[in-house]
């Protein structure tokens, strides 16, 4: 996965810079997100891996997955990826593009697990506290995990904030065991 991300990074950066210049970051983000989902489909992945098809044909078949005709810039981007045998990197390109966009807009999506359902007021309090701590606009995706016993676990990228009772008990048990 890390190797795929490394290979995808220059493509994601180039298309992000171009989208930023064109004031089309939102459109590109949506198009790449869809393209990433399509490329991740097993049937599509098999077509992209078929050595009997030319790279040009793979790009054409891929473009045909879209309901509407593709903008020329996106079609050209797909062709560049195909010519370099990198169409399979589209899920990683889409992910990196979204990260670049979030960085530009100073937003962060957080996965928040709690032992119990959070009320709207509790969610707003959590958003405010995390926004101040992270110095970014926060978007929450909440889920209930009763095994936490109490408290909250917040995840984004490689950052994990474990303020759950289960986490505290595990840390205490580890400290007592050492």
Q: Look up residue 177 and give its two tokens.
A: 């065991």
CB 33, CB 94: distance < 8 Å: yes
Tell me phi and psi for residue 106, to 5 degrees: 55, 50
Q: Identify the segments of the chain with pLDDT beneath 50.
A: none
The class that CATH gives domain 2-103 is: mainly alpha
Q: Output the pLDDT for position 178.
A: 66
Q: Which of 76, 74, 79 is nearest to 57 (CA)?
A: 79
> Domain coordinates of the chain in residue numbers?
2-103, 106-177
Q: Output the pLDDT for position 99.
A: 92
d(CA 45, CA 88): 7
Give the chain as a 3 state SS string: CHHHHHHHHHHHHHHHHHHHHCCCHHHHHHHHHHHHHHHHCHHHHHHHCCCCCCHHHHHHHHHCCCCCCCCHHHHHHHHHHHHCCCHHHHHHHHHHHHHHHHHHHCEEEEEEEECCCCCHHHHHHHHHHHHHHHCCEEEEEEEECHHHCCEEEEEECCEEEEEEHHHHHHHHHHHHHC
Q: Output the pLDDT for position 1.
A: 58
State the maximum Cα–Cα separation within the chain, in Å, rounded to a whole number. 63
Q: Output the pLDDT for position 32.
A: 94
Q: Output the pLDDT for position 4.
A: 86
Locus of tokens 């405010």: 128
Q: Which of 164, 170, 167 is nearest to 150 (CA)?
A: 164
């Amino acid at each position: 996965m890390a190797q795929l991300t490394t290979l995808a990074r220059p493509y994601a950066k180039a298309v992000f810079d171009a989208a930023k210049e064109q004031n089309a970051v939102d459109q590109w983000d949506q198009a790449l997100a869809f393209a990433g989902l399509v490329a991740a489909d097993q049937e599509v992945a098999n077509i992209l891996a078929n050595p009997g098809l030319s790279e040009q044909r793979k790009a054409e078949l891929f473009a045909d997955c879209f309901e509407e005709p593709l903008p020329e810039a996106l079609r050209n981007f797909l062709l560049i990826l195909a010519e370099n045998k990198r169409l399979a990197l589209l899920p990683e390109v889409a992910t990196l593009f979204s990260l670049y966009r979030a960085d530009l807009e100073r937003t962060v999506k957080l996965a928040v697990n709690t032992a119990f359902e959070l009320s709207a007021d509790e969610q707003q309090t959590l958003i405010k506290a995390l926004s101040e701590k992270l110095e970014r606009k926060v978007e929450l995706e909440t889920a209930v995990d009763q095994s936490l016993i109490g408290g909250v676990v917040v995840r984004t990228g490689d950052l994990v904030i474990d303020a759950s009772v289960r986490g505290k008990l595990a840390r205490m048990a580890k400290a007592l065991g050492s």
